[in-house]
Amino acid sequence: MSNTETNQPTNLFLTATNFKMLPKASREELVAKVITGLNHPDPIKRRTIVQRGILLLLARQTDDEQQAETTEHHNCVGFTAADAKRLTFLGKWLQEGNHLTNAKVADYAKRLHKYRVQLAQLAFEKERLKLLRAANQPNT
């Protein structure tokens, strides 16, 4: 395998300044990874992934939306109007250190499938930031 091939994903994450700039195949791969995580066979890992997803989406809600437990801004970020009350309440409950039961994990994993693209965008942003930090580290 050539050096170019092995560096391709890293280069894509560094050159694409946002998720939509990624090639379609790369975006679809990230979305597939999110779906795989939401369906993870290990119940502990699945619980962690689902709870983290809810908390990440909650963080994308504006302050006024979190306060009112609604969707005030139709900006395609955070929860939909149909989920805002329930998932905002749940996110706040999780922030207090509570955890979902296995039955609830399955229910909320299904619900989070509609947010798979947002979660993939967040995964992209996290990976890109990690790579940028590594690229800016002085070689020792």
Question: Could you report the per-residue pLDDT of 53-102, keeping only the tens digit for each?
Answer: 999 999 988 776 777 666 765 666 788 889 999 999 999 999 999 999 99
DSSP 12-34: HHHH-SSGGGS-HHHHHHHHHHH
Dist. CA 30–CA 117, nearest whole Å: 8
Residue-range domain boundaries for the chain: 24-136
Range with the lowest mean pLDDT among 9-13, 29-33, 36-40? Answer: 9-13
Alpha helices in the chain (DSSP H): 3-15, 24-38, 43-60, 63-68, 81-95, 102-112, 116-136
The pLDDT of residue 122 is 92
Q: Can you read off the two tokens belonging to residue 121?
A: 């965008």
Range with the largest mean pLDDT of 23-27, 29-33, 80-84:
29-33
Instruction: Fill in the DSSP letter of residue 61.
Output: S
pTM, entire model? 0.81
